[in-house]
């Protein structure tokens, strides 16, 4: 066999060659990105809704990065449990009871954190609420509450830290929004509306403060396994709504809060503009942007599978209460992973008879 024929016989098929090339390119990009990551050692991180759920997972991850931690929430018992958890991991941590729907309270909270640590280097807007049910079971109060918590609860802390960050010409702001802020899923309209507003604010803010040395990152997670269904609120056919939401939030393929926290912190260190994850959420958001009509048609089919509202249904009930009244061994088994996550991330049912905002995820 001639040399040229031997060489030709050793060539890889074109698709394999392209795949190898793309793999190498991805490896090079990933390595370059890791080399460009900033250190967070010694920085002061303020996390709203940091007492449980994704907020607590983020506080743990930032503790491992060497940050000094400040967390706020409304429930002082939850804050105390989170403080003990974080101190056990070596954190220097400050807890501040605060209602993020109250601008004056938020300003006082940021002032207290700044007094203790000297500054706020990283603001992580995480606190939020989720209300589940069809639009006919909702009143304007549910929409107002979602906006107060999921949008103004992002706006107020951001406005409070911006002056000191601008003065230093340095700072990071990351806001946990949701895939619901990109694709409006049925039976989540108050939540979606507020998250769309939060996405728009975060994206525009990045452009406005870039020249001040401030990096803004918009975080767009899909469903996470944190036990959030116990903290969500349900209207309409409450047991039916709880059932589908709880099973989805407990599914084995749902991303864990720990993994989500690692992705978020890595993106913050790299100064990413936006992080949408997992890959299913990223693909869904892109398809919706390209084919919004087709997405709406698919979601209309999904809506037909969701529970119809009873004719006189009004008012919302916390998920822990609905779950306690749902007598189903199958449902208990189906939500076992979600309940384990609730215990791991400080969202035990005993702590959820409340009217306070809860952590995202």
> Is residue 6, in this structure, part of any structural domain at all?
no
**Pairing relationship of beta strands 274-277 and 358-359 according to DSSP bridges:** unpaired
Structure confidence at residue 21 (pLDDT):
60
For residue range 104-142, list pLDDT tens digits in order.
Answer: 999 999 999 999 999 999 999 999 999 999 999 999 999
DSSP string covering 300-350: HHHHHHSPPPPTT----EEHHHHHHT---HHHHHHTHHHHHHHHHTT--GG
DSSP state of 258: H
The enclosing domain of 325 has a CATH number of 3.40.50.720
> Is residue 323, in this structure, part of any structural domain at all?
yes
Is the N-terminal amide bond of 278 cis, ω within 30° of 0?
yes
Q: How many domains does the chain have?
A: 1
**How many other CB atoms are found less than 10 A from the CB of residue 8?**
10
Structure confidence at residue 26 (pLDDT):
47
> Is residue 119, in this structure, part of any structural domain at all?
yes
Kindly tell me if the per-residue pLDDT of 200 is higher than 80: yes
> Is residue 282, in this structure, part of any structural domain at all?
yes
Least confident of 147-156, 202-211, 311-320: 311-320
> Is residue 20, in this structure, part of any structural domain at all?
no
Question: Which residue is catalytic, options 117, 191, 196, 234?
Answer: 191
For residue range 276-322, list pLDDT tens digits in order.
Answer: 999 999 999 999 999 999 999 999 999 999 999 887 767 899 999 99
For residue range 5-43, list pLDDT tens digits in order.
Answer: 545 555 666 666 655 665 565 455 555 555 579 999 999
Full-model pTM: 0.87
191 is catalytic: yes
Residue 257 near residue 224 (C-beta atoms within 8 A): yes
Q: What are the structure tokens assigned to 47, written together?
A: 């996390």
Structure confidence at residue 17 (pLDDT):
60
> Is residue 23, in this structure, part of any structural domain at all?
no
User: Containing domain of residue 268, as a range?
Assistant: 39-356
> Is residue 3, in this structure, part of any structural domain at all?
no
| For residues 221-237, average pLDDT | 95
> Is residue 245, in this structure, part of any structural domain at all?
yes
């Amino acid at each position: 066999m001639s040399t040229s024929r031997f060489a030709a016989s050793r060539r890889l098929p074109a698709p394999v060659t392209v795949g190898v090339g793309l793999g190498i390119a991805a490896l090079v990009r990933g390595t370059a990105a890791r080399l460009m990551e900033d250190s967070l050692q010694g920085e002061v991180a303020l996390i709203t809704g940091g007492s449980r759920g994704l907020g607590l997972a983020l506080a743990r991850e930032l503790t491992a990065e060497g940050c000094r931690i400040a967390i706020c929430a409304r429930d002082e018992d939850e804050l105390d449990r989170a403080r003990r958890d974080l101190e056990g991991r070596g954190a220097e941590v400050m807890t501040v009871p605060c209602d993020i729907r109250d601008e004056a309270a938020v300003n006082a909270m940021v002032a207290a954190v700044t007094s203790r640590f000297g500054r706020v280097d990283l603001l992580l807007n995480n606190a939020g609420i989720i209300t589940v049910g069809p639009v006919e079971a909702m009143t304007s109060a549910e929409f107002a509450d979602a906006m107060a918590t999921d949008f103004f609860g992002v706006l107020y802390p951001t406005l409070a830290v911006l002056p000191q960050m601008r003065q230093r010409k340095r700072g990071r702001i990351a806001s946990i929004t949701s895939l619901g802020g990109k694709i409006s899923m049925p039976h989540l309209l108050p939540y979606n509306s507020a998250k769309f507003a939060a996405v728009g604010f975060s994206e525009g803010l990045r452009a406005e403060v870039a020249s001040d040395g401030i990096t803004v990152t918009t975080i767009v997670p899909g469903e996470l396994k944190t036990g959030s269904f116990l903290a969500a609120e349900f209207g309409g056919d409450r047991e039916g709504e709880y059932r589908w939401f709880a099973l989805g939030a407990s599914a084995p393929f749902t991303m864990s809060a720990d993994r989500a926290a690692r992705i978020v912190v890595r993106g913050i260190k790299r100064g990413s503009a936006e992080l949408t994850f997992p890959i299913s959420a990223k693909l869904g958001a892109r398809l919706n942007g390209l084919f919004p009509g087709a997405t709406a048609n698919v979601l209309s089919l999904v809506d037909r599978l969701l529970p119809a509202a009873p004719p006189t249904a009004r008012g919302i009930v916390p998920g822990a209460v609905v779950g306690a009244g749902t007598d189903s061994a199958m449902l208990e088994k189906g939500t076992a992973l979600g309940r384990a996550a609730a215990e791991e991330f400080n969202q035990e049912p005993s702590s959820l008879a409340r009217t306070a905002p809860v952590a995202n995820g």
